[in-house]
Structure 1
Amino acid sequence: MLIKQRSWVIFLLQVMLVVSSICLAWLLRFEFCFKNPKPLLLAIPVLVLIRVIAMARFNLYHGYWRYTGLSDAADIFKAVAIGSAVFFIVLRWVFGVTAFPLSVYLLEAMLTGIALGGVRVLSRAVTQAIERHQHDAGKKTTLVVGVGAAGVLLESALQQSNYTLTGFVDDDRRKVGVNVRGVPVLGTINDLPQLVRAYRVDEVLIAIPSATGKQMQRIVDYCTKSGARFRTIPSVSELVDGRVTVGQLREVNLDDLLGRDPIRLDVSRICEQLKDRVVLVTGAAGSIGSELCRQIVKYKPAKLVCVDQAETPLFYVQLQLTKLGSPAERICYHVADITDSDRMRAIIADYGVTAIFHAAAYKHVPLMEENLSEALKNNVFGLVDLLNVAQECGCKDFLLISSDKAVNPSSFMGCTKRLGELILAARQKSGMRCVSVRFGNVLGSQGSVIPEFQEQIRNDRQITVTHPDITRYFMTIPEAAALVLQGFAVGEPGDILVLDMGEPVRIVDLARSLIKMSGMKEDGVKIVYTGLRPGEKLFEELFYSSEKQTPTIVDKVWRTRSRMLSWPELQQGLDRIRVASSTSDEELIRSRETLIKSFSAFHSVIV
């Protein structure tokens, strides 16, 4: 019924347009004078009948004008052209009306075509405007920071999203006032607070994937001042295919503020070292270990053996790898303790492991100060036993994950890490290629300071920092895994590989950045200084003063070596510590102090 009513409305409207067109053509021809209108009065019913039949023939009474396109324009042209030709023939030769000027025929045809097409275009424009207004009512108004390629791609993506783009901002003042794809560049980053208020912006979207840490920090500062929510597109390293979608938008995180260029991996060399080999990862359920597993499977090893003593985290690693589409038949998971030599021997021998990434270790400095014997058991003697088993089973490559806390250690955990480096250096002639990788704190790793700060901001509105001047080197989990893989590919026996991690970061500055990213004002969260904890240093170092640094073929990855002790000499010192660890903590503490300061077997390489 509604369709029939709509068709009648269209019919009557088009008849009115036809009548209006011929009348206007007559008036234009005779300069708006109605002298002798008889030919016109005779022509109107003839023309209406012919036009009605022609429009029906080309289906001009149906269809939805909001979807008017070229095919509709073609139908209108054909209906008007054929109708005009028939009208001319009928009026002149059937009715014998010769007083009807030829110019009126032509003007009427033009005006009818324009009227029939124009009413459709107007209907489409009005409908789209109404729909756009209704749709925009539920949209978020946004500003995009950055008028580069990424910003333009994001603008295209926003057209089909729940956002209304108000404009761009960019630090290039030459672009201010310019329109980019019809969207104005409203100002610079400094203008963000004023622009957010003036245009009632709901969200600021940052589209500078190559931004440095300092640039991102500055943008975050102005976004925080504006009071609007802010998000960013992924970094260059995350934009694998170069496309930008709304679904990729995420919160700004500390990785962005770290702002280092991604490590360029020598993929062919890594693939050459891993493809079709049996690879074992200890600590596979940890932050670094699990990321290593995710990266290693991409290089198609014959078998990836994931080992961890934590059952539930290992189960989640299994779920993640399955979700990523990793071939189940090429991955196995074992709950095992690296200090259990028999268990590790069985695993390594059964699978024929030829390469080991050793990420299993205790890492929390204050906790290990209270659990000295366990730190030694796992980080030192567990390592020695695993090396012995690996050598016994014919393993070819062994990589140890170390720490910057191994340099001039003030903590017991740092001592165990330094001992690990020395142990690997002393095993150069074991038949295995033994390499250590040394890096700083990992952002977002399990038990790191970042989740602790975030929890404090949410619940306590107070952050605890040990000292206002304490600094640390930081890297991201992907950076850490990349360094480990690259170290495995290019490391030579006895190497300690170190990532150039830029300048150390003050922990209090990190805390302030987290406060800003949480959307709070800096004075809304109190920072409390609690004092250095046992074994904690104000600053960490990446190298000993005696260590010579040489570049590798990989950008920002450096090679160094420690003064090598013979394995028998090193083993004597380890035996003394093992005896002390089996007696009492007091004896162990004395051995630990000796180890750090003046223990004869290690004095020249630890201090």
Structure 2
Amino acid sequence: MFKPTSSKRTLFFIFFDFFIFLGTLFLAYNLRFNFDIPSSFLENFFIVFIYISLLKIIFFSFFKIYSVSWRFFSLGEAKKLLYAHIAAYGLFWLSYYTFPEIFAPISRSILIIDLFLSLIFVGLFRVSKRLLVEGSNDRSLKKTLLIGASIFAQTLFKQNNNFYISAIVDDDEALVDSYFSDLKIQKLDDIELIVENESVRSVVITKELNQKLLTSLYKRLNKLGIYDIKLAILSDKETILKSLTVEDLLARRPKDLDKAKIEEFVKDKIILITGAGGSIGSELCHQCERYGAKKLIMVDNSEYNLYQVSQKMKDVETSLIMQSVTDIDLLEETFKLYRPQIVIHAAAYKHVPLVEANVYEGIFNNIIGTKNVIDSSIRNNVEKLIMISTDKAVRPTNVMGATKRICELYAQNVIPNDTEIVSVRFGNVLGSSGSVVPKFKSQIENGQSVTVTHPDITRYFMLIPEACELVLQAGAIGVGGELFILDMGEPVKIVDLARKMIELSGRDDISIEFIGLRPGEKLYEELLIDESDTKTDYESITVAHPTSYDIDKLNRDIEELLASKNKIDKLKEIVPEFNHQKNIKI
């Protein structure tokens, strides 16, 4: 992270500036009088020196000259120096005419000579660092190519970096051949030539690029042997650099995100979020905070996760509730005490192999937990409930997916009274706990082979923040009874994901090992069953046609499921499309 200029660095420049000001003023006096200064002029020399020096330091600070990294001194900084000097000498001359007895005698030509001398020597002192860097073949500074003539690029030129910016390119033809901080902007298409000619060793991308262009750039740079690729982003009003990750290459950024609609939905509301300590739940907490929620009721059965996410909530009132959604009595007390207006149900067991090995616990937590949250919301007149679902609920091949399909059926068919109940179905989110990305990262860092279950396995992916914003947007437009489906883009082959992560790590000693499909694992996921989807006003969100199921029968079926000795068969009875793929005995 880049920090502001330190006070030590500022004091260093002020200290040396005083010596420069003293030297240039003394030289100006000597030049004016041919190195024979009259004693009458020498008497007030130090008064003039102190006053003009203070004025210059004040205006240097005003024009932020002491905040500039002079390694990249350019025309912009030279203009600031000129303006600061003109302002300082102009104010001095005004002071002289107002209080002549303090400064007299003084010659205008002395001030004019001193102005030019000060400009030259102060400028040379600043630019010397850049001249030294360019002249010294310092191998500790990586020659870096900037992609994008943006505000982030401008900031990088003014910061102390551990790299040397040797070239800049842009895909905007209107900018090509113009100058940016004394560097000529070149064509993005000429990267290969620039990397070779400039001996570029790293790249910083300083503008937002669409996924297709970013992926294309990554492939081109990879072929050139450039693995040090960073993105410039704004975080807490600072420009920071983050390494390019596979999440950046696979990210699905919705084009039609309606932030005004989300803010209208969330602002000043009391919102209860279950599973608040999980990957999705914690991000939903942050999003609700960002969009102006009045209060967050954060429910989770993990003390550690709840504490961790609560430490990051600074701008919203929170209540931390450590309980399980399967305890209806405690849940009912929570609803009655806090009276939430919006409920987002993100609590669930989601890891396929674990639920396969713990069928009863998976059924009880996912189905009964969801039923409890929905029933409590209805009884306590919650305005809107959003249930998070998964693409694994579509033609499920595992117990987890079947339980989530039953949750969808319950949400669609329960008698809602005045509560608007909607479900949101989407695929994998990048970086969530237990997903392939953290697993692959760990394997690569430890020098292990990356394990992929099958060469042809594919998955849909979306970034957690974007998925959560679309969840809130779906909640905002829902009127009750909808099963919303988020546009996940094109499916990604997991083996390609593994290859990209290995390439980004810069390691060529990591292999890929195929270990076979896990119990209940599909080769590919779907987002629709046979429901004909209906478009909304937003391209990123569609609605699946509802599936009718008698709610009284569904309640009886759920009770029988809990009591049944053969839970798989009962799941198949409730969800006929459930095709269980299991190779271990329950």
Cα drift, residue 74 of structure 1: 7.1
Shift of 1:257: 1.3
2:129 is the counterpart of 1:128:
no
User: What is the CA-CA distance between 1:175 and the residue it aligns to?
Assistant: 5.6
Contact 1:158 1:164 in 2 (8 A): no
Q: 2: distance between equivalents of 1:199 and 1:448?
A: 40
Spell out the pairing of 1:390-405 with structure 2 (5 A cutoff): 390-405=377-392
Q: Find the aligned partners of 1:493 and 1:422 in 2 and give their Cα distance.
A: 13
CA contact (8 A) 2:272 2:344 kept: yes
* Paired amino acid for 1:530: I
* Other-structure match for 1:70: 86
| Matched position secondary structure for 1:292 | helix
Secondary structure in 1 aligned to 2:337?
A: helix
- Aligned residue identity for 2:276: A
Q: In the alignment, is the contact (CA less than 8 A) between 1:255 and 1:476 conserved in 2?
A: yes
Q: What is the CA–CA distance in structure 2 between the aligned matches of 1:123 and 1:275, rounded to whole Å?
A: 56
2:548 is the counterpart of 1:564: yes
What do you get for the CA RMSD once the two structures are aligned? 3.7
Where relative contact order (Cα < 8 A, 6+ residues apart) is larger, the structure is: 2
Amino acid at match of 1:195: I
Runs of 5+ unmatched residues, structure 1: 20-46, 79-108, 600-607
Could you say which residue in structure 2 is the equivalent of 1:535? 520
Secondary structure of 2:168 counterpart: strand
- How far the C-alpha of 1:334 sits from its partner, in A, is 1.0
Question: 1:407 touches 1:542 (CA, 8 Å); kept in 2?
Answer: yes
Opposite residue 468 of structure 2, the aligned amino acid is A
Q: 1:5 to 1:293 in 2, by over 3 A?
A: closer
C-alpha separation between the residues in 2 aligned to 1:188 and 1:6? Answer: 43
Q: Which digits, 9 at most, give the CA deviation of each residue in 1:4-40, with x for residues without a partner? A: 9999987996687468xxxxxxxxxxxxxxxxxxxxx
Query: Map of 1:109-508 to 2, 5 A cutoff?
Result: 120-133=118-131, 140-147=142-149, 150=150, 152-162=151-161, 163-171=163-171, 177-189=177-189, 191-192=191-192, 195-209=194-208, 211-224=209-222, 225-227=224-226, 229-234=228-233, 247-262=239-254, 264-321=256-313, 324-326=314-316, 330-508=317-495
TM-score (norm 1): 0.75
Q: Deviations over 1:375-433 (max 9, x none)?
A: 11111122223333333333343221100111111111111111111111111454432
What code does the residue aligned with 1:215 have? L
Q: Is residue 212–residue 259 contact of structure 1 (8 Å, CA) maintained in 2?
A: no
Q: Equivalent residue of 2:543, what SS?
A: strand
Structure 1, residues 28-86: CA drift from partner, whole Å, max 9, x if none?
xxxxxxxxxxxxxxxxxxx76576755765668888899993378779999xxxxxxxx
Query: 1:279-333 deviations in whole A, cap 9, x for unaligned?
Result: 2111110011111112223444453211111111101111111xx332xxx3211
* SS of match in other structure, 2:243: coil
Q: In structure 2, what residue type is equivalent to 1:70?
A: I
Matches within 5 A, 1:504-523: 504-521=491-508
- C-alpha displacement of 1:121: 4.6
Distance between the aligned counterparts of 1:6 and 1:418, measured in 2? 77
Q: 1:485 to 1:529 in 2, by over 3 A?
A: same
The Cα shift of 1:505 comes to 1.1
Q: Residue 320 of structure 1 aligns to a residue in which SS? A: coil
Q: 1:126 to 1:347 in 2, by over 3 A?
A: closer
Equivalent residue for 2:510?
525
Q: Secondary structure at the match of 2:286?
A: helix
Give yes or no for the alignment of 1:573 onto 2:560: no
* Structure 2 residue matching 1:248: 3-state secondary structure: strand
Aligned residues: 515
Counterpart amino acid of 2:531?
Answer: E
Q: Which TM-score applies when normalising by structure 2?
A: 0.77
Structure 2 counterpart of 1:229, which letter? D
Q: Which residue of 2 aligns with 1:94?
A: none
Instruction: State the 1:182 CA deviation.
Output: 1.8
Which range is displaced more, 382-391 or 495-504? 382-391
Name the aligned partner's letter for residue 377 of structure 2: A
Residue aligned with 1:249, SS = strand
- Counterparts of 2:353 and 2:42, CA distance in 1: 88
Which moves more between the two structures, 56-65 or 386-395? Answer: 56-65
Task: Look up the equivalent residue of 1:573 and give its one-letter code.
Answer: D
Q: Match of 1:279, SS?
A: strand
- Residues 249 and 10 of structure 1: is their aligned pair in 2 closer, same or farther, counting only changes over 3 Å? closer
Deviation of 1:200 after TM superposition, in Å, equals 4.0
Please tell me whether Structure 1 or Structure 2 has the larger radius of gyration of its CA atoms. Answer: 1
Q: Which amino acid counterpart does residue 203 of structure 1 have in structure 2?
A: S
Tell me the CA shift for residue 506 of structure 1: 1.1
Distance 1:61 1:443, change over 3 A: closer
Give me the whole-angstrom Cα distance separating, in 1, the residues matched to 2:510 and 2:486: 34
Shift of residue 478, structure 1, vs aligned partner: 0.9
For residue 308 of structure 1, what is the amino acid of its counterpart? D
Q: What are the within-5 Å matches in structure 2 for residues 81-120 of structure 1? A: 120=118
1:590 maps to 569
Cα 1:380–1:190 change in 2 (3 A) is: farther
Residues 309 and 17 (structure 1), Cα distance of their counterparts in 2 relative to 1, 3 Å cut: same
Taking the aligned partners of 1:451 and 1:533, their CA distance within structure 2 comes to 18
Moved more, 171-180 or 362-371: 171-180
Do the aligned partners of 1:437 and 1:483 also contact (CA within 8 Å) in 2?
no
Counterpart of 1:143, as a letter, is L
Output the CA distance in 1 between the equivalents of 2:328 and 2:561.
19
Letter in 2 for 1:184: K
Question: Whole-Å Cα distance in 2 between the matches of residues 173 and 265 of structure 1?
Answer: 29
Take 1:314 and 1:525, find their aligned partners in 2: how far apart are those partners? 36
Provide the secondary structure at the position in 2 that maps to 1:498.
strand
CA–CA distance in structure 1, aligned partners of residues 19 and 452 of structure 2: 75
- Percent identity over the alignment is 32
Q: How big is each residue's C-alpha offset from its partner over 1:80-115, in whole Å with a ceiling of 9 and x where there is no partner?
A: xxxxxxxxxxxxxxxxxxxxxxxxxxxxx99x9997
The C-alpha deviation readout for 1:224-268, integer Å capped at 9, x for no partner, is 33335221123xxx789xx8x5x3322223332134334544445
**The residue matched to 2:528 in structure 1 has which SS?**
coil
Partner of 1:28: none
Displacement, 1:446? 1.2
Alignment of 1:10-25 (within 5 A): 17=31
d(CA) in 1 for partners of 2:574, 2:91? 94
Deviations 1:124-153 (A, max 9, x none): 344334344457767554211123xx2x54
